[in-house]
Amino acid sequence: MTREDWTKPACWIDERYLALWGLADWDVYESEEVGQGPGVRIIDVTAAEPSANELWPMETQTDELVELFGDGERLYVAVETGTAAWDIATREMLAEWPGFTLRLLDRARNTLVAFEPDAIREIPIPWRVAPVGRR
């Protein structure tokens, strides 16, 4: 797989899966890209061939992406206007936090953290995030 624009956020979902922002087919020339739009491409790094359902469109996430975080069960998508949490198994949006642009997922404190010009905002995650290595 090749990709010209490596400035797009990416994150590990767990030890096996990687989420890359963008739905374009990176193995074709930029002028031929298909499947453009907001969403993630889920890559199984242990698989020899890409899986058939590796594309995950997120039509509601149309603002410019800032950060992407995964905790094994949820994918957190942060844009300039807010953050959304998506269930990885069902691919449904679970929660939205308008005006809160996530910059750090603190597993030890079970919180989401945003850095603003004059403050650091922290909100508790409404579900428990298992610490790394304790799944």
Instruction: Find the range with the poorest average confidence among 60-69, 102-111, 113-122.
Output: 60-69
* pLDDT tens column, 8-42: 789 999 888 889 888 766 554 444 444 467 889 88
* pLDDT tens column, 83-100: 999 999 899 999 999 999
- Structure tokens that stand for 104 in this block: 């750090």
What pairing do the DSSP bridges indicate for beta strands 17-21 and 39-44?
A: antiparallel
- Distance between CA 103 and CA 72 in Å, rounded? 18
- Are the C-beta atoms of residues 53 and 70 closer than 8 Å to each other? no
Domain residue ranges of the chain, discontinuous segments joined by +: 10-124
